[in-house]
Structure 1
Amino acid sequence: KADGSAVDVHRHLGGLFPTLRSEGFLCDILLKVKENEFPAHKSLLACSSDYFRAMFKSYTQESKASVIHLQVVSPTGLQHVLDFIYTSLLPLSFESLEDTLEAASYLQVTDAIGLCNQYLVNNLTLENCCFSANVARKFYLPDVLAATEKYIISNFWKLLDLDFTGLLQLNFRSLLAVVKSPDLPRVKETCLLNFVLMWLKQDSSRLDHRSSLLEHIRYGLIPVEDLRKIYTQSEMPLTAGIKCLIIKAINYHTSVYKQPVLQDKSTTLRNQKTRIILLGGGRANEGLVTDVVAFDVYNHRWRALTHVQDRVQNHSVCVVGNFLYVLGGEIEDVTNKVHRYDPRFNRWTQVTGMLEKRCQFSSCVLGNSICAIGGRGENGLLHSSVEVYDISRDRWRKATELPCKIHGHAGAICKNTIYISGGKCTGQASTSKDVYSLSSLEEQWVKQAPMSIARFGHQMATIREAIFTFLGLYEPFSEIERYDPDQNQWTRLRPLTYDRFCYGLVVVEETALLIGGKKCLLNGTNITLDQEFYTNVNTRFVIHVDLNIGLLKMGYRKATLLYNCAKSAKHLQSECHNITRKEGRKIKIKEGK
């Protein structure tokens, strides 16, 4: 009531029933568990428990009984549930939690079950998370189970460093959630496999689960020596299906050059992170460098990643199967070397070199092949040649030549067609506006509508089935163009904020990122230390960055996109900040999936 009398009655009854219970006054039912007796009031039990409400219906035998024997619950559990019914207070601890849940579930006291849920979720630790998962599985607490399994997955690497006792008692379904998870941070696949084998050997009844667990191990991430040992010396009999997975992984490891085209779930790191890789070129005060750095797109952090073997510039890069290929460029002289980087294991491999030595050329990926197009060779001679790298065979072959010898051009793939633009051809004093396309490696190059601006040393990017050309060498007006392949038409867009050249470019989530480079000034060139993001919907924003890595002095410093970068203990102390738009509104970078 508005005057508060209803509240007073509730408080009065809440204090009255515990008093009546403690005095044994008006108790009309006796609950017995083994030798333990619990006097109670039918009316209150029926109000609080669906089990007792159904039991005390007039048509049941128990409705007229004065003593009820409860065979399932424990004395401790019943005591706690009765305390809750009478006082609304539920005493909880991990020691008595199972007894309490068992009684609350059996007697259908839903409010008590809800409090147990909260207690388990709010008190998760490394020491009790496995116990909590087992309890949640036993009593079917889906919210608790989801929270505990998420906690175990996130902290599995920590749990492996603790006493295995708790982990080895983890129920099958929760362990299955762990081995199936794509987000298992800091856990080597070998360690995960060893733990699963240890868990299976704990109890012979668990062997029924071996296929269900072992089929989710990513054997392609386990060293081949360990795979052979498991295959030949395993203490546990392996099923034919698991043996096939191990043999497949061994074949993967021995097919070194084919690995980029053999990638699947079993060879992909868990807990993938998107990184932009910056390599080659030079710093403002150091000249050409060998260090390779990685940029976290979503946390705006640079960190040291690896080193290239040679100081290189005017090279080209591309990614196949999340392997990074570095092609050609200038070391001291023009080179045809090709190196491949595996970010999973921080490993470099030199593959077969190109047929021609090239720098200032373009490369692209068409299907499972890498195409190297044009460029400048030894003694300044230009190439019209195009060559294709067959990854499966580690072999280069000639393809249809360009109509002219050209270098300093840019290339992109759009709708499975290669496009190149600009550059400078042999015998021409000025740069070119020309655009050529190649829809099949066996066909001829086709001339398309030219750009409105002649460009050299520029970059191209494909976004939403349109091609964007970004500024090149000495373009002070910083203009951008967009090409529609269906209409064979170019459109000028709003210019970038700053001119630049010799920069790196990569596309992340339909946004082009321009990184580093040189800036044109009236008295020469100067280093620029910002990144510019340019999208295809006529909006743009600039992130001013103190990179702390002094980009860039000379030559091209290439940027490319990779996942699964191997972790390094050393982080560069640099950070992006001040995200703005021309209109002054803030833009938040969307978190990756």
Structure 2
Amino acid sequence: MSFTTGCHRPVQRPQNGIKPGYLVEKLQNARDIGKFCDFSIQTGPEIFSVHKCVLGLSSDYFATMFTTEMKEKYETTVTLDDINPDVMKEIINFMYARPLTLGNSDIFELFSAANYFQIEILKKKCGEYLKNKLLASNLPYLMTIWEHANKFSMESLQAAVESHISKNFSLLLNEDDISSLELYHFKVVLKFLNNTLTDEYRFKKIMIWIKHDLANREEHLSELFAVIDLDSIPKSILSELVSNDDAVMRSPQCLKMIINSLANRLPDNKLEKFLFCANEGSSYSLYDVTTDRWSLLTPLDKGKRMHASVVVCDDGIYVIGGEVNQLSVPSVHFISTEKDQGWKACPQINEPRQNCSSALYKSCIYVAGGRKHFKPEPISPDWFVSECLSSVECFDIKNQKWINTIPIPSYGTQQLSLSLVACGNYLYTLCCKRFCYNVCTLYIEQFDGKKWEKISELPNEIPVQAVALNKQLFCLCKSPLRSQTLALFRYNCARNCWKRCAPLTSPANDVSLCVANGKLYAHWMSTSAQGTFKSILEGYNISANKWTNVKKFAVGNAGKLLASCSSLVVG
């Protein structure tokens, strides 16, 4: 478009005003010669002339300074002695849209200054620069990046560092780099590698770090031992430390921790060597894990009792409740593990229940949870609420009597499942409360014989089964966020902490857990491509955090694992 004025040539009308970058260039030039500058920043011997409007628009720190009742609002100079002059120059150049000259030597100072002056875009650029340096960095430098990311709430950078170390720990965790870490960084590495490395591996790294500077680091030994799970360290290694390691022997706290861990281990003469299995209906069998021998027990009854609970005591096995023909029953039966005399009827539980959980605690059998009736198809949401049994019953074995005891506080409405297990001096319950669709929380409560107390929780996990081993709870869980795949979690009762265990070698859904011969076993049914079924038994190595295949049975030989015992019954 054009227009004419008299005899003059057509004049082009400006289309877009001032060209992009014109004002920025003018501001840059004005600052270079001190033109129109209305503020100055002094850092050390250096004084930088600047424009307030540029500082206020670029930095929330300066915007607050110039718009609130601070003395700097009415002054023309501010002194910042804590800022390196070279870094301040970089900050000002960035505000005036000039390129950064980043380098390894001053990047962390620039990162800190960007956070101090609240310049988010500069923080992001520093984070991107450091993220691109991860592959070429050693462990101490990576932990310095992590510390700054954590301090300045740069979650994506922090996660990138943790992921990089987890994936490349075999290269990064060499003796020289481990030894050069300061205590805080070393503890952080041990903690966020909790689910990547075994406790035995981390234990060895602790001893390397301590012995690199024994005189100055010996005092931190017990503090580092608390980061790992000593119960997962092989007994032979701990025994060797107690006998021969001078640093451990000089630390009463370390000695106490190791001795307590060794005391938690089951004595060899009391190991449970037999897995108690439920086959179809009321048929039960025992499997000797040491001799690979099966024995079929005398059938319980002629009916098809399903969903019963099983407790193994010193002298026999109790089968409690269940359902027959879709009706819950109060029946309780006992069979001796000393001699085969068949099943014996015992006093019935007060409330008929199926899918309940039971455990032996202080010479009494505790029964909790379960439901009144067989699950309807399809299941309505109201059924979960109306069918939950919140009562807890206790069976005095000596007096052969059932009594109602203190109910579990967290168990009641909107419950998805419950698991009861005795461990050490306490009875534990793991129950799950549903808040809304796909949102639930697993609660752990402990019972000392007088009251229940909630001690921990695990979001979005539903307990399927729990067993105790070496004063730890192993809980098989499913999650609404993880489809149908089961996961195994380990809860350390003494340290009140959770750890996710290695997955099974096959993504099985219907898995049962059992402890025998001092080891954890898992059992499930597997289907081949040809449609044939196999019964799979796997063992879990706690120290190595690894599952290994133990045995494959024909379908008729093994049912669902329910418990373990130390004697064998020949039916």
TM-score by length of 1: 0.46
TM-score by length of 2: 0.47
